Amino acid sequence: MESLSTFWLSVLLFVLILASAFFSASETSMMAINRYRLKSLSAKNNHQAKRVEKLLKNIDYLIGGILLGNNFVNILAASIATLLAIKLWGEGSVILASLTLTVIILIFAETTPKTYAAKNPEKIALPASWFLEVLIKVFRPLIFLISYISKSILKLFGLKNINNDILNSEELRMAVVDSKPMLSKNYRKMLLNIIDLEKVKVEDIMIPHHELVSVDINNEDEIFEQLKRVQHTRLLIFDGSENNIIGTIHMRDVVNVYAKDEMDISAIKELIREPYFIPEGTPLSHQLEHFKNQKRRLGIVVDEYGEVQGMVVLDDILEEIVGQFTSSQGESINEINLQDDGSYLVDPRISIREINSALKVKLPFDNAKTLNGLILEHLQSFPQHNVSLKIESLIIEIVRVNKQGIKLVKINKIN
């Protein structure tokens, strides 16, 4: 009879170790499962995935239920092991039995099942969810008490609930970078560019004020002269001062008027469209949405005093996502030219962001937005030609200057 009792105690101990392994694997799999993969399965009407989502929404109850079950079976297993040791080898074997059970639980009920669950969370979490749901329902009052006490202790340390399911921009960026096996290089680059739209401001990509083509509405001769030679699709119109932009004229409208043989100043003035102003500091992600809502393709960037800083067109924002298009003149403009000796001849009007992208460097653009501005910021004076300076990992030599500013620079990268 005693041997029969010992046999059943051994069977019970074995079952308890398996139960401990189940709870350990369940805990790890629930924490390791991919939340977005889970949402995808749930959207496909996978009932197990929906059950896991429901459990994870109340993480306090889930952890409380798993730990309640795990601690119960571990403590009961320790008691059974002690009882078996006393029956088989006497009271002196209790310490040895405890050490042996600790090693067995550590290997077979902790390390092995948790490692497997971490590598295969779906295989464990989905089928285990129904049992955990039943367990939580049965012991809900006790689990509620455990959860309440745990939350109260955490509040004493000033810890509050944090939603870890929401990815910030850097985490989202890393998710895109890690998706190499699933997404092509071009798609990953576009997604990364979209994520970065929030960081880039309109002034970072705008055409600066001094490069804008504009004409005074009061100068009729100049208006017609500009209409003849302008190479852009739109001509800016100001009244008296270049900061007083009153509108734009689209060249398509001019062609229509010319076709009707109504080319006079009054007809031209009727073509002027109301300008659309953009506050300096607007993120590109917001401005893209504004262009869409306003049905616009062009905006004038102004500072806090209303002075014109430059112009942004929709194509410039799209280029930030998909890459460089051809120029408005129908051909590519090379602002960076690689030389035979490995150096680069660069138009200093180029934006620092373009330099960083093309040369794989990290020049700062918090203040100055163009290479010209960055050079002047470092020199603190108007430079002469053949002056060289080092900025970050670049040696910049000023090759050509005139009265208006720096016209050409030579750049060497420091390895």
Q: Are residues 271 and 363 in the same domain?
A: no
Q: Mean pLDDT, to the nearest integer, of 357-386?
A: 80
Minimal CA–CA distance to 175: which of 361, 59, 35? 35
pLDDT per residue as tens digits for the range 60-69: 889 999 999 9
**128 is a domain residue:** yes
Q: Are residues 145 and 207 in the same domain?
A: no
* Band of pLDDT at residue 347, cut at 50, 70 and 90: confident
CA–CA gap between residue 15 and residue 127 (Å, rounded): 19
Answer with the one of 294, 322, 350 that is the final residue of a domain: 322
Asked whether the beta carbons of 22 and 113 are under 8 A apart, the reply is yes
Give the chain's largest Cα–Cα span: 119
Q: Are residues 317 and 340 in the same domain?
A: no
Asked whether the beta carbons of 33 and 121 are under 8 A apart, the reply is yes
**170 is a domain residue:** no
Q: Which of 103-107, 164-168, 285-289 has the lowest mean pLDDT?
A: 164-168
Strands across the sheet with 214-216, in order? 214-216, 234-239, 241-250
Answer with the one of 322, 353, 371 that is the final residue of a domain: 322
Angle at 348 between CA 346 and CA 350, to 5 degrees: 85
CA–CA gap between residue 114 and residue 124 (Å, rounded): 10
Say if residue 258's pLDDT is above 80. no
Structural domains counted in the chain = 3
Find the radius of gyration of the CA atoms of the chain. 35
SS3 238: strand
CA–CA gap between residue 108 and residue 348 (Å, rounded): 67
Say if residue 297's pLDDT is above 60. yes
- What's residue 134's pLDDT? 93
- Structure-token match 């998909």, residue found: 322
Asked whether the beta carbons of 370 and 352 are under 8 A apart, the reply is yes
Q: Are residues 228 and 251 in the same domain?
A: yes
- Structure-token match 């960026």, residue found: 173
Say if residue 278's pLDDT is above 90. yes
CA–CA gap between residue 191 and residue 176 (Å, rounded): 7
**166 is a domain residue:** no
Say if residue 23's pLDDT is above 80. yes
Q: Mean pLDDT, to the nearest integer, of 51-80?
A: 91
- Report residue 405 as tokens: 């500013």
pLDDT per residue as tens digits for the range 374-383: 888 888 777 7
Instruction: Annotate 126-145 with b (16+ C-beta within 10 A) or e (fewer).
Output: bebbeebbebbeebeeebee
* Band of pLDDT at residue 329, cut at 50, 70 and 90: very low
Answer with the one of 290, 322, 354 that is the final residue of a domain: 322
Minimal CA–CA distance to 242: which of 299, 313, 307, 311? 307
- What's residue 257's pLDDT? 72
- Report residue 204 as tokens: 């970072």
Q: Are residues 302 and 363 in the same domain?
A: no
Asked whether the beta carbons of 309 and 209 are under 8 A apart, the reply is yes
Q: Are residues 151 and 9 in the same domain?
A: yes
pLDDT per residue as tens digits for the range 8-18: 888 899 999 99
SS3 360: coil
For the entire predicted model, the pTM comes to 0.60
**217 is a domain residue:** yes
Q: Mean pLDDT, to the nearest integer, of 286-311?
A: 89
Q: Are residues 239 and 122 in the same domain?
A: no
What residues pair up with 400 in beta bridges, in sequence order? 408
Asked whether the beta carbons of 389 and 375 are under 8 A apart, the reply is yes
pLDDT per residue as tens digits for the range 99-126: 888 899 999 999 999 999 999 999 999 9
Minimal CA–CA distance to 371: which of 349, 404, 397? 349
Q: Are residues 136 and 234 in the same domain?
A: no
Say if residue 332's pLDDT is above 50. no
Q: Which of 133-142, 170-179, 219-228, 370-379 has the lowest mean pLDDT?
A: 170-179
* Band of pLDDT at residue 138, cut at 50, 70 and 90: very high
**150 is a domain residue:** yes
Look over the chain and give the mean of its residue pLDDT values, rounded to a whole number.
84
**163 is a domain residue:** no
Q: Are residues 233 and 276 in the same domain?
A: yes
* Band of pLDDT at residue 52, cut at 50, 70 and 90: very high
Q: Are residues 219 and 265 in the same domain?
A: yes
pLDDT per residue as tens digits for the range 404-414: 678 888 999 88
CA–CA gap between residue 400 and residue 409 (Å, rounded): 7
**395 is a domain residue:** yes
Burial class (CB in 10 A: 0-12, 13-18, 19+), 370: buried
User: Which domain covers residue 13, as residue numbers?
Assistant: 2-156
Minimal CA–CA distance to 299: which of 328, 290, 214, 323? 290
- What's residue 260's pLDDT? 66
Q: Are residues 312 and 352 in the same domain?
A: no
Q: Mean pLDDT, to the nearest integer, of 377-393?
A: 81
Q: Report residue 376: phi and psi, to 5°.
A: -65, -35
- What's residue 404's pLDDT? 67
**CATH code for the domain of 256:** 3.10.580.10
* Band of pLDDT at residue 4, cut at 50, 70 and 90: low
Q: Mean pLDDT, to the nearest integer, of 169-188?
A: 78
CA–CA gap between residue 371 and residue 352 (Å, rounded): 5
In DSSP notation, 86-147 reads HHHH-GGGHHHHHHHHHHHIIIIIIIHHHHHHHH-HHHHHHHHHHHHHHHHHHTHHHHHHHH
CA–CA gap between residue 246 and residue 244 (Å, rounded): 6
Q: Crossing angle, helix 2-32 and helix 112-119, to 10 degrees?
A: 30
Q: Are residues 263 and 361 in the same domain?
A: no
Higher-confidence residue of 172 and 144: namely 144
Say if residue 34's pLDDT is above 80. yes
**Residues 6 or more apart from 70 whose CB is under 8 A from it?**
20, 23, 24, 27
- Report residue 410 as tokens: 């030579």
**CATH code for the domain of 386:** 3.30.465.10
Asked whether the beta carbons of 246 and 217 are under 8 A apart, the reply is yes
**172 is a domain residue:** no
